[in-house]
Amino acid sequence: MAIRLEVVPTAAALADAAAARFLAVVKDALAQRGVCRVALAGGSTPRGAYERIASEWQASGAGIVWSRIHVYWGDERMVAPDDPRSNYGMARAALLSKVPIPADNVHAVPTDAANAASAAARYDEALRAAATAGDLPRFDLVFLGLGADGHTASLFPGAPTLDETARLATVAKHPDTGEPRVTMTFPVLNHAAALIALVSGAEKARVLERVVRGVGRPAGSPLLPAERLKPNAGTLTFLADEDAAPWARSANTGPNT
């Protein structure tokens, strides 16, 4: 599987490029199958991309039909939607509140559940309900982030969730804050047609070089969560700004390309 690295000059260019990829994937999926399923990332990096998608749609319609697009999340913090930490809340403010997507098409992690375990169980059911062939939903696009420790979604280094093969969603806990979360698991992520990790900032440069090129991976060390992204029938792209990839010179510098 080839890992593709695309480097753009700035965080603003990253937002533009991510929005362009989103719109291209959605248009293609709608043309091919009349429906599109995407999963959004949380954290701070994707906000600019979501805002750009909204402004593109507001300016021109962008050739997409929101009633045919279903939005999920790769992970969520167990907080209320109006909590500033909410990944759903961030996407709602930056994008979903600005476009005519039907409420039934917005599949947020049910953080109103009694606890993370029941939220994860309900989200697992929602993901299974999205499956069209077999028991795994195939997302047309999954946006992801990359933590400086190599985590992605809420799959953290050394967590037992990395080896989860049955559940499509499970409970996670932030290693520093202990914050309860719900995350998609690798069976779902690696079944996607396109995984695109959005990576910005100098603090990600080392981990990104390791994930993309294997540089700095101690012999015999376990793979970082982001190193375990291996779409079985899809593409994996790291879309980064120059601050996150000062070591890269060409547009396609993955270890297997």
Q: Which residues bind ligand 6PG (CB under 6 A)?
A: 41-45, 75, 87, 145-147, 151-154
CA dihedral in degrees (26, 28, 33, 36; nearest 10)? Answer: -10
The residue written with tokens 């695109």 in the block is 196
Least separation in angstroms between CB 60 and ligand 6PG: 27
The residue written with tokens 């690696």 in the block is 190
Tell me whether strands 36-40 and 235-241 are parallel, antiparallel or unpaired: unpaired
C-beta of 42 vs 180, nearer to ligand 6PG: 42
Q: Exposed e or buried b for every residue in 170-179, given b needs 16+ CB within 10 A?
A: bbbbeeeeee
Least separation in angstroms between CB 151 and ligand 6PG: 6
What distance in Å separates the CA atoms of residue 120 and residue 99, rounded to the nearest whole number? 27
User: In sequence order, what E strands does 205-257 have?
Assistant: 235-241
C-beta of 15 vs 248, nearer to ligand 6PG: 15
Contact 189, 196 (CB under 8 A): no
C-beta of 40 vs 62, nearer to ligand 6PG: 40
Among all residues, whose Cβ is closest to ligand 6PG? 145
C-beta of 75 vs 124, nearer to ligand 6PG: 75
Contact 144, 229 (CB under 8 A): yes
Least separation in angstroms between CB 59 and ligand 6PG: 25
C-beta of 202 vs 233, nearer to ligand 6PG: 202
What distance in Å separates the CA atoms of residue 149 and residue 157, rounded to the nearest whole number? 7
Closest CA to 81 of 97, 59, 64, 58: 97
**What order of strands is seen across the sheet that includes strand 194-199?**
3-8, 235-241, 194-199, 141-144, 36-40, 69-73
Least separation in angstroms between CB 163 and ligand 6PG: 18
Least separation in angstroms between CB 65 and ligand 6PG: 28
C-beta of 42 vs 89, nearer to ligand 6PG: 42
What distance in Å separates the CA atoms of residue 35 and residue 67, rounded to the nearest whole number? 9
C-beta of 45 vs 185, nearer to ligand 6PG: 45
Least separation in angstroms between CB 150 and ligand 6PG: 10
Least separation in angstroms between CB 194 and ligand 6PG: 17
